[in-house]
């Protein structure tokens, strides 16, 4: 695969990870650390560092594949549709199945830093805003 094609694909993937609208997403940044195709045809893995500023929120959204994450710093309030809202502290791990609506919120007094690993289909957006 040539470099231009790799850069274009990486840009598309980054944009699809960050598809939540600016109006719904406040004070959130995502930085892709790793993005690679899997040996499973049609799937890729993405590792991202997610930062949510004090008072920030992701907006209600869903992912096309599995999310596995861990809080590194801060106190994450996580709404997951169909479950009670929970608080996660540094070292706590999170799993969210494909298609489940959720939202991370920072009600604390320091930025949240988390790592999120996505195993997702290559031909679908990683993240879509929920209605």
> Please, which pLDDT band fits residue 25 given cuts at 50, 70 and 90?
confident
What's the CA gap between 56 and 32, in Å, rounded? Answer: 19
Mean pLDDT taken over the chain: 87
- In the prediction, which pLDDT does 99 show? 97
For 117-131, what is the mean pLDDT?
A: 94
For 27-48, what is the mean pLDDT?
A: 96
| pTM of the predicted structure, to 2 decimals | 0.81
- In the prediction, which pLDDT does 131 show? 79
> Please, which pLDDT band fits residue 2 given cuts at 50, 70 and 90?
low
Q: What would the pLDDT profile of 61-81 be if each residue is shown by its tens digit?
A: 999 999 999 999 999 999 999
Tally the C-alpha atoms within 13 A of residue 65's C-alpha that lie toward its C-beta: 21
- In the prediction, which pLDDT does 13 show? 44
The larger pLDDT score, comparing residue 28 to residue 2, is at 28
Evaluate if residue 22 carries a pLDDT over 60.
no
- In the prediction, which pLDDT does 12 show? 42
For 80-104, what is the mean pLDDT?
A: 97
Residue 19 CA: distances (Å) to CA of 29, 33, 72, 115: 12, 18, 23, 18
Element (H, E) at 63: strand 61-63
């Amino acid at each position: 695969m040539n470099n231009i094609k790799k850069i274009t694909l990486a840009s598309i993937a980054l944009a699809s990870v960050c598809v939540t609208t600016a109006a719904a997403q406040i004070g959130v940044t995502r930085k892709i650390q790793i993005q690679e195709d899997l040996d499973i045809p049609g799937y890729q893995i993405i590792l991202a560092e997610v930062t949510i500023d004090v008072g920030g929120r992701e907006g209600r959204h869903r992912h096309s594949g599995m999310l596995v994450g861990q809080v590194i710093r801060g106190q994450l309030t996580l709404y997951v549709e169909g479950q009670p809202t929970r608080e996660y502290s540094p070292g706590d791990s999170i799993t969210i199945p494909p298609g489940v609506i959720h939202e991370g919120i920072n009600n604390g007094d320091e930025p949240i830093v988390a790592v999120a690993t996505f195993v997702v289909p290559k031909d679908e957006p990683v993240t879509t805003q929920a209605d």
